Amino acid sequence: MSVNKKNDEESPERTSKGSTRHSSYKLPPEFAQPIPDRSKPPPCLLDDVLPPKGYYEQVLALTRDFVAQPRLVYKTVTGVNGPLVILDEVKFPKYAEIVYLTLPDGTRRCGQVLEVSGTKAVVQVFEGTSGVDSQNTVVEFTGDILRTPVSEDMLGRTFNGSGKAIDKGSEVLAEDFLDIQGQPINPWSRIYPEEMIQTGISAIDVMNSIARGQKIPIFSAAGLPHNEIAAQICSQAGLVKLPSKIVCDDHEDNFAIVFAAMGVNMETARFFKKQFEENGSMENVCLFLNLANDPTIERIITPRLALTTAEFMAYQCEKHVLVILTDMSSYAEALREVSAAREEVPGRRGFPGYMYTDLATIYERAGRVEGRNGSITQIPILTMPNDDITHPIPDLTGYITEGQIYVDRQLHNRQIYPPVNVLPSLSRLMKSAIGEGMTRKDHSDVSNQLYACYAIGKDVQAMKAVVGEEALTPDDLLYLEFLTKFEKNFISQGNYENRTVFESLDIGWQLLRIFPKEMLKRIPASILAEFYPRDSRH
């Protein structure tokens, strides 16, 4: 009894907070140890070996959706058709499931299940099907969808069309693994784009203003300087700085560019890389390059990898991301190749009937979301075959996107840069991003009047070719003079000339002063009284 009593006396007492203390014995101060903080990871003895930055985030990302289950492996390849591999005797294949193919020489390739019919599965291989052997190729079904590792450290790096680093840099530690198809955004949570992006190009800023979060493609053709225009937009883009008030432009600090190239030649890839390096913005650029000699089928996932990275930068890192996708015509042709291999019923010009829906899954991943400061602005570049704007690719793209910038071959042949034809160009979000308090109160009226005068000038030019200049009226001659000066002074500018929107508007007023006030019928009298006089300081 005495022993038990002694033990009871020396047993630790329980405090109100759940910790224990000894009532009869205390450690000397020199032996006291601080209580370790369990909320932090334990110190690693190999801190000089393991990278401490991002290490634990990657471990967390790897184990977040980890499923401990055996993977099924098959050697039942029954046929190869273009980029597709057909397998039989597959147990419970799932649509969009990721598979890994191990070739006889040990090469490992990634694919995705496109079609399921009973125990048969059709797999599209992203790296191509060359070397696939029906006898010795091992196919492993993962039971998971295609995810891509994302991290803020991807800025300044170069990846191939499958998302693998090709710049000989260190391995990127992933902060998360995201589905490349993206997450559906509730339309109610979208924010309407109302902040104008000043590109420094007059034909865009005044006539087709771009808002932050807009998707607006460049319709071009082979041999036209669409790459130069996109590079100039990247280097000069920023918010409009109003002279009347200080604009807090975090563009420089939180700006990032995600560039995805599909089927381009090495010259185009080098051009963009050189432009980014010369502008000092390479550290804020993430490049995905699928070159012309890379597998065609890889172009299906390249834009989705780029947009998944852009969504992480915009919505998690709260950056303003500019996404450039070139060339979307190569993407559509890769889509047609897969459709032909699956023997689907073709649509116009052999393209699949679901191409509109497929393009929408790419273009609609732009915009702004409520509760997030970041934004995604998309500028897809597509080359129109035979300069045909009615081709299915530009035709369907124009239905989905919020306007287009049309690059004209006739202007290019006359040495006008940038050769942007403002008549077929359009920006559907321009009306909400311009005006008093955003740009200038005369912006909308000047744009409408310039459009009207330029269109009439084009008609007069066509009439002059039929009846001759002698048969034209004095008003017609004014429109011809305006047409020439508009293309020479307003549209044409240098490759590195960065005009503010106010400078571009002033140039527009200089051109409109060719006409008397009575002929400027699209501008209200109050605006004319303020801005039309030649000694105006506005």
pLDDT digits (tens, 9 = 90+) for 377-399: 999 999 999 999 999 999 999 99
Same domain, 133 and 104: yes
The predicted model gives 123-138 an average pLDDT of 90
- CA 477, distance to chain mean position in Å, is 45
Higher pLDDT, 49 or 490: 490
Core vs surface per residue 198-208: b (16+ CB within 10 A) or e: bbbbbbbbbbb
pTM beyond 0.85: no
Tell me the per-residue pLDDT of 254-266, one tens digit each, with 9 for 90 and over. Answer: 889 999 999 999 9
* pLDDT given for residue 71 in this prediction: 79
Q: Are residues 494 and 400 in the same domain?
A: no
Query: What does the pLDDT average to over 302-326?
Result: 94
Residue that is written with structure tokens 């459009």 in the block: 451
pLDDT of 28 over the 90 cut: no
List, in order, residues 6 or more apart from 49 with CB less than 8 Å away. none
* Most confident region among 65-79, 185-199, 491-505 by mean pLDDT: 491-505
Structure-model confidence comparison of residues 231 and 248, the more confident one? 231
Is residue 59 predicted with pLDDT exceeding 80?
no
Q: HEC profile for 463-486?
A: HHHHHCHHHCCHHHHHHHHHHHHH
pLDDT cut 70: percent of the chain above it? 84
Which pLDDT belongs to residue 324?
Answer: 94
Residue 239 has pLDDT above 50, yes or no: yes
- Domain range spanning residue 86? 72-145
The answer to whether residues 154 and 238 belong to one domain is yes
Residue 482 — very low, low, confident or very high, per pLDDT cuts 50/70/90? very high
Q: Do residues 93 and 164 both lie within one domain?
A: no
DSSP sequence for 175-225: SEEEETT-----GGGEEPP-PEEE-S-HHHHTTSPEETT-B--EEE-TTS-
Q: How many domains does the chain have?
A: 3
- Confidence class of residue 53 from pLDDT cuts 50, 70 and 90? low
Query: What is the domain-level CATH number for residue 332?
Result: 3.40.50.12240
Confidence of residue 62 (pLDDT cuts 50, 70, 90): low
Q: Which two structure tokens, joined as six digits, stand for 184?
A: 């559906």
Asked whether residue 282 falls in the same domain as residue 387, the answer is: yes
* The domain boundary residue, chosen from 397, 413, 432: 432
201 CB-near residues (< 8 Å, 6+ apart) = 229, 232, 233, 236, 418, 420, 493, 499
**For 212-220, what is the mean pLDDT?**
95
Cα–Cα–Cα angle for 241, 233, 399, rounded to 5 degrees: 105
- Is the pLDDT confidence value at 39 over 90? no
Whether 299 shows a pLDDT value over 50: the answer reads: yes
